A and B are shown apart, each in its own frame.
Chain A
Amino acid sequence: MNQLMNPVEVLGIDAGGTMTDTFFVRADGEFVVGKAQSNVNESQAVLESSTDALAHWDRKVEDVFPEMVTCVFSGTAMLNRVVGRKGLRTGLIVSKGFEDFHRMGRAIQSYLGYAFEDRIHLNTHRYDDPLVDIKDTRGVTERVDSKGNVVIAVRLHEAREAARELIEQGCQAIVISLLSSYLYEDHEKAVRDACKEVAREMGVDIPVFASVDYYPVRKESHRTNTTILEAYAAEPSRATLGTISDSMKDVGGQFDLRVMASHGGTISWKAKELARSLVSGPIGGVIGAKYLGEKLGYENIACSDIGGTSFDMALITKNNFAIHKDGDMARLVLSLPLVAMDTIGAGAGSFVRIDPHANAIKLGPDSAGYRVGTCWPEGGVDTVSVTDCHIILGYLNPDNFLGGILELDVDRARREIKRQIADPLGLSIEDAAAGVIELLDLSLRQHLRAMITGKGYSPTDFVCFSYGGGGPVHAYGYTKGLGFKETIVPAWAAGFSAFGCATADFEYRYDKSVDIGITEESSRDDICAATTTLQNAWDELRNKVLEEFRINGFKDEEVTLTPGYSMQYLGQLNDLEIDSPLGSVTGVEDWDHLVESFNETYARVYADAARSPELGYGITGAIMRGTVETKKPNIPEEAKVGPNPSAEARQGTRPFYYEKSWVEADIFKMELLQPGNEIKGPAVIESDATTYVVPPGFETFLDENRLFHLIECD
């Protein structure tokens, strides 16, 4: 097809710790995936990966970048900066007497992110170094009570002294987070201005961050951590993203680089609140699944993503995913809205060991990661991994692992499985390896089922999307017997997160805590005051959202604003987040609309009978989302050819071990399969980046959108 008729429009980038993936989409929905080793120079890795991808179309970076309209980046650099504690040296000013709360991390930070066993045992609890050292922390006398009343006026001379000391000590940024500042912001703002003044007097130019300007929400530890991240990690990342943006402009790019953010939208790299791009990788897949679902008519989707180290699950119900209001990341409690996901630390690369007490196979919690397993001697791994088991059972092709860039030693894997697993358990090598895979599948299946039934749903109402490098290998195993409507494996499973990033809206979202409680006894005046409080919060957030879009040159009228609120029955602990049925609210009638909308949502999420209107209603937070239309990738659409795969797609057969016997599996090349092709298991469908396994008792077909449908036969 003519290149001019068919320009490349969308680029998604997933810059992981080991590989930088790029995903280019053409106007007709055709796509290519590129890979390059991640290295210190991120902009170079992006260009190398782009070159690799575009080579499939015989095109050059310089030709393609000028015609592109949108580019979304997600990466782990900021996360690594936080985990490795390599951020900007930051000073912290808090209410006097509360200097230690930051490093205490609500105690929960001593076990956040650990395996269950390590959470319940005190001796494995451990505090990471705080983001801000106690030596760089200062208290300022002031106090605001929990209702927002000033109890002690702020002593600004102390703030000035604190700022001077912190700057003299070498802090390169100052963060201010005072108690209850989300209810009364004047103290923080006064301290902020005093700090700026001191910096000016001292002739230094350092950024000053007051938590009210960024995250005016309750919970000091969360709010403080998040504001610190803006200074500590986001500012350095902004510089990196600026370099990537510049390098793209150098090759002719005329688009604005956007970054995937934890709330599921994309934001500009120039955004004020950049910390929300801290974790974005696994979210991309959920956004991509939602987008595909909307386009193709699946409204309930169970998303499952298996990488080398973890299994991430998320639910999309009625085309919506849930948002966690204060998700935790990198072992920190944060006030960042986060797409709700369940993660377990078991993946395609998990280590396999024998528990000597139970004499049973134990998976993880650690994994071989990019070192693959004992089958790759250069990786330096001595412990058997799940990948080793796949290799010896014929699931994966040892000669084409990651497109053949690694040379694998199957005999070594067999020897190690025999020594470490099979002999101690008295099993044959095949049965030991098959037992490992069965155990992993079982554990994934149980988690997937628990996530769905735990929320009161049934798998029969869901379509399961399986992606990530390891998804298609395990899809049959973890969906078997669950009764999903369908199991779908996109042909671009390995690049699905990058694809998902490219489908995300340009969206800013801001949150503010409010305290509203209305019962049957409340007067009309109380209700009017409540709506005024909510409306004021929305007005404040609207300005912040519009300001962010103005930075990127969007006019206010181009932005679609969606106000929302978090409501609960008074006395309950959890609230529900709801898009407001009204653009603005005043008075009693509007309040009734808000309540009605909440009751409906509550009945849908839980059950009619669980509604408790007699308790009264509370609003805990105001939300404002602003979006601007962006160019999204088209989904490929090809005509159906017929049920029989072409001769070129067939790559012969390979012995494959399944349910205690060896069978001959047909091998296919994924890229050469055509829509309409039907394949009966046992079969293995290979591409460079992933392998799709169809065992005996299963069959699959490829549809017009290059999605494989996996069907369990009776």
Chain B
Amino acid sequence: MSNFTKKQVADLVKGSLDWDTLHMMLSMPKDKERYANYMSVLQDQVSWDDKIIMAFGPHLFLAETSADKSLVTKCSCGHDFGDYRTNWKLNALVYVRDDEEKMSQVYPTLMAPDTSWQVYREYYCPSCGVMHDIEAPTPWYPVIHDFQPDIPALFDWLDLPVPVNA
């Protein structure tokens, strides 16, 4: 098992890690310190103190609040999307591209889907406006709950104490 430094993990997150190291990371089992290093790199990127437990996206995290240890979905700006078991998208701003004109803003003519079959739903942070996700379902489809992590199982693998509210 190889050990990687926090700097290497930070480069991985930034996308600037050299291929040889990246190849080694991909090919070998994860080192024990990886989770702690990864979380600490993410923590350095945000200005708030709630403890990051997992990344959902480049700007979206699962965090344990310092106030009451509840597990919430949070934007990098600090916006709180509520309990991680409910779909954070329900508390986001949404923009739906559901006609030809809106599609033509992002795709050349004739290269976008027919909006009676497929629409794009873009989800934004109500506080800072960063785009967190886009889904491309049929128009009638409910808002998709991407995934709900099994936190106790994760911490069991990591061999770390499970957060109290998981």
Contacts and interface: CB of A to CB of B under 8 A. Distances in A.
Nearest to A354: B1
Contacts of A356: 1, 29-30, 32
A113 to B, nearest CB: 12
A27 B35 CA distance: 65
Contact of A366 (B19, B24, B26, B32): B24
A383 B23 contact: no
B27 interface: yes
Contact of B27 (A354, A357, A365, A383): A365
Contacts of B19: 126
A126 B24 CA distance: 13
Contact of A355 (B23, B24, B26, B29): B29
Contacts of A357: 29
User: Main secondary structure on chain A at its contact with chain B?
Assistant: mixed
A204 interface: no
A356 B29 CA distance: 7
Contacts of A115: 27
A201 interface: no
A361 to B, nearest CB: 11
Contacts of B28: 353
Interface string A351-363: 0011111000000
Given A355-B29, A356-B29, A357-B29, A126 B1 contact: no
Nearest to B26: A124
Interface in B11-37: 19, 23-24, 26-30, 32
Contacts of B32: 356
B109 interface: no
B47 interface: no
Contacts of A121: 26
B41 to A, nearest CB: 20
B23 A353 contact: no
A118 B23 contact: yes
B45 interface: no
A383 B2 contact: yes
A708 to B, nearest CB: 38
B23 A126 contact: yes
Nearest to A420: B1
A126 B30 CA distance: 21
Contacts of A353: 1-2, 28
A117 interface: yes
B33 to A, nearest CB: 12
A351 to B, nearest CB: 9
A123 interface: yes
A358 to B, nearest CB: 9
**Residue from B19, B27, B30 with most neighbouring chain A CB atoms (10 Å):** B27
Nearest to A357: B29
B26 A123 contact: yes
A124 B24 CA distance: 9
User: Main secondary structure on chain B at its contact with chain A?
Assistant: loop
B27 to A, nearest CB: 6
Interface residues of B, number: 11
A117 B27 contact: yes
Interface in B97-156: none
Interface string A101-130: 000000000000001011001011010000
A121 B23 CA distance: 11
Contacts of A365: 27
A126 B26 CA distance: 12
A383 B2 CA distance: 8
A509 B21 CA distance: 40
Contacts of B23: 118, 124, 126
A373 B28 CA distance: 19
Nearest to A126: B19
Nearest to A355: B29
Contacts of B2: 353, 383
A356 B33 CA distance: 13
Contacts of B24: 366
Contacts of B27: 115, 117-118, 124, 365
A436 to B, nearest CB: 15
A171 B107 CA distance: 38
A367 to B, nearest CB: 13
A422 to B, nearest CB: 15
Contacts of A117: 27
Contacts of A366: 24
B122 to A, nearest CB: 27
B32 to A, nearest CB: 8
Interface string A365-389: 1100000000000000001000000
Contacts of A118: 23, 26-27
A365 B2 CA distance: 12
Contacts of B1: 353-356
A403 B108 CA distance: 70
Interface in B52-91: none
B20 to A, nearest CB: 9
A117 B30 CA distance: 15
Nearest to B32: A356
B49 to A, nearest CB: 32
A693 B155 CA distance: 48
A229 to B, nearest CB: 22
Nearest to A351: B2
B81 to A, nearest CB: 30
A365 B1 CA distance: 12
A353 B24 CA distance: 13
Contacts of A126: 19, 23
Contacts of A124: 23, 26-27
A118 B28 CA distance: 10
Contacts of A355: 1, 29
Nearest to A115: B27
Nearest to A382: B3
Contacts of B30: 356
Nearest to A118: B27
A426 to B, nearest CB: 17
A504 B30 CA distance: 47
A356 B27 CA distance: 13
B8 to A, nearest CB: 14
A117 B24 CA distance: 12
Nearest to B1: A353
A553 B70 CA distance: 86
A383 B24 CA distance: 14
Nearest to B24: A366
Contacts of B26: 118, 121, 123-124
Interface in A79-118: 115, 117-118
Given A356-B30, A383-B2, 19 more contacts: A115-B27, A118-B26, A118-B27, A121-B26, A123-B26, A124-B23, A124-B26, A124-B27, A126-B19, A353-B1, A353-B2, A353-B28, A354-B1, A355-B1, A356-B1, A356-B29, A356-B32, A357-B29, A366-B24
9 contacts: A117-B27, A118-B23, A123-B26, A124-B26, A126-B23, A354-B1, A356-B30, A366-B24, A383-B2
Interface of A: 115, 117-118, 121, 123-124, 126, 353-357, 365-366, 383
Shortest 10 CB-CB distances between A and B: which pairs? A353-B1, A124-B26, A356-B29, A118-B27, A355-B29, A123-B26, A356-B1, A357-B29, A124-B27, A354-B1
